[in-house]
């Protein structure tokens, strides 16, 4: 019998914690199913000339079996996912994990299945996002004025950056580094591991540890393919994915420490915001958060474990 072929796609360099976790998923499947499974990891489709966003369509249509992808890109299809993109609301990783492994995560996964046919196998830690730029240290919203910032394809992200004074420009991951290198954008935001591994720090000497967003990356599988597997294969894939998610989350916090040390050693000008400086950013985005809070509704927000105090602070 021919082995079951599982193609897993990503859009990051091989050393990324997402790709290391995806490789672990494949290893766990091999341990459980042996030669019955042939797992292929295509960890950086961008390096092969594709747009990162192509992965979403490939998995939706079954051209690729699974991938990881930032949930921010999926909020247009599933508006409830915007709850994960509220700025300065998630202050601790554990808060997000509890929500995503509980009722909120189940609700979001069900909506992704309904809207796009994905089977969600879990949620990776996509990290706290920080600001880099090529022009000046950023310590207050006034320092953001007039800077063109690359954003994800997320209207909520664009609204947040406009409220800070930036001029947002949505670009795919494929277009990010060329825009940074050429100066087509002055600023961008990413987790520390991406800032270092993508080489952004070589062109953006200023890094502000703003932590304005915490992101999740959904581990997506083609729903019809998953449903068509035997119960034993489905169980093996679910268990292997749980192992991969747990390992990826353990790596995430450690990677922040390691990446920051590398960025400091590379000579980045690192701005650590004081409490009052951070509060200035929070005040600037408060109208956006208040509008989203009204649109999303209290039940969805209540699912973000431990978020109540933060939401009250940000939304005023």
The tens place of each residue's pLDDT in the chain, 316 residues long, gives 789 999 999 999 888 999 999 999 999 999 999 999 999 999 999 999 999 999 999 999 999 999 999 999 999 899 999 999 999 988 889 989 999 999 999 999 999 999 999 999 999 999 999 999 999 999 999 999 999 999 998 999 999 999 999 999 999 999 999 999 999 999 999 999 999 999 999 999 999 999 999 999 999 999 999 999 999 999 999 999 999 999 999 999 899 999 999 999 999 999 999 999 999 999 999 999 999 988 888 878 777 755 443 443 333 3
pLDDT for the residue 304: 78
Selection from 264, 259, 143, 131 nearest residue 204 by Cα = 131
pLDDT for the residue 273: 97
Structurally, at CATH architecture level, domain 4-315 sits in 3-Layer(aba) Sandwich (3.40)
pLDDT for the residue 133: 98
User: Distance between CA 47 and CA 42 in Å, rounded?
Assistant: 10
pLDDT for the residue 296: 87
What is the pTM for the complete model shown? Answer: 0.90
Under the phi-then-psi rule, with left for phi > 0, alpha for psi from -120 to 50, and beta for the rest, what region is 171?
beta
User: Distance between CA 186 and CA 132 in Å, rounded?
Assistant: 9
Residue 44, φ and ψ in degrees, nearest 5: -140, 80
**For the chain, what is the HEC assignment?**
CCCEEEEEECECCCCCHHHHHHHHHHHHHHHHHHHHEEEEEECECCCCCCCCCHHHHHHHHCCCCEEEEEHHHHCCCCHHHHHHHCCCCCCCHHHHHHHHCCHHHHHHHHHHHHHHCEEEEEEEEEEEEEEEECCCCCCCHHHHCCCEEEECCCHHHHHHHHHHCCEEEECCHHHHHHHHHHCCCCEEEECHHHHHHCCHHHCCCEEEEEEEEEEEEEEEEEHHHHHHCCHHHHHHHHHHHHHHHHHHHHHHHHHHHHHHHHHHHCCCEEECCCHHHHHHHHHHHHHHHHHHHHHHCHHHHHCCCCCHHHHHHHHC
pLDDT for the residue 150: 98
Hey, where are the domains in the chain? Answer: 4-315
Q: Looking at the DSSP assignment, which residues form a beta bridge with residue 133?
A: 187, 206
Selection from 263, 255, 248 nearest residue 218 by Cα = 248
User: Distance between CA 158 and CA 152 in Å, rounded?
Assistant: 8
Selection from 208, 196, 203, 207 nearest residue 262 by Cα = 196
């Amino acid at each position: 019998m021919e082995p079951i072929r599982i193609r897993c796609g990503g859009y990051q360099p091989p050393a990324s914690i997402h790709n290391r976790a995806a490789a672990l998923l494949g290893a766990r499947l091999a341990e459980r199913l042996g030669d019955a499974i042939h797992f292929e990891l295509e960890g950086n489709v961008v390096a092969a000339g594709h747009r990162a966003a192509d992965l979403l369509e490939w998995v939706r249509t079954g051209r690729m079996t699974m991938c990881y992808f930032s949930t921010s890109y999926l909020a247009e299809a599933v508006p409830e996912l915007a709850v994960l993109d509220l700025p300065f609301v998630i202050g601790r990783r554990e808060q997000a994990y509890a929500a995503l492994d509980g009722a909120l995560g189940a609700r979001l996964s069900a909506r992704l299945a309904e809207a796009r046919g994905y089977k969600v196998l879990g949620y990776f830690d996509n990290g706290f996002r920080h600001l880099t730029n090529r022009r000046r240290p950023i310590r207050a919203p006034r320092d953001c004025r007039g800077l063109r910032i690359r954003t994800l394809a997320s209207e909520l992200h664009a609204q947040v950056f406009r409220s800070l004074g930036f001029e947002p420009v949505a670009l795919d991951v494929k277009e990010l580094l060329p825009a940074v290198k050429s100066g087509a954008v002055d600023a961008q935001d990413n987790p520390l591991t991406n800032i270092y591994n993508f080489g952004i720090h070589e062109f953006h000497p200023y890094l502000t540890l703003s932590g304005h967003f915490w992101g999740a990356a959904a581990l997506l599988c083609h729903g019809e393919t998953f449903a068509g597997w035997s119960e034993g294969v489905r169980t093996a894939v679910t268990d292997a994915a749980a192992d991969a998610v747990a390992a990826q989350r353990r790596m995430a916090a450690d990677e922040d420490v390691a990446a920051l040390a590398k960025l400091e050693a590379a000579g980045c000008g690192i701005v650590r915001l004081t409490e009052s400086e951070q509060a200035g950013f929070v005040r600037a985005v408060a109208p956006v958060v208040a509008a989203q809070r009204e649109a999303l509704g209290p039940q969805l927000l209540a699912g973000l474990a431990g978020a109540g105090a933060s939401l009250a602070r940000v939304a005023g």
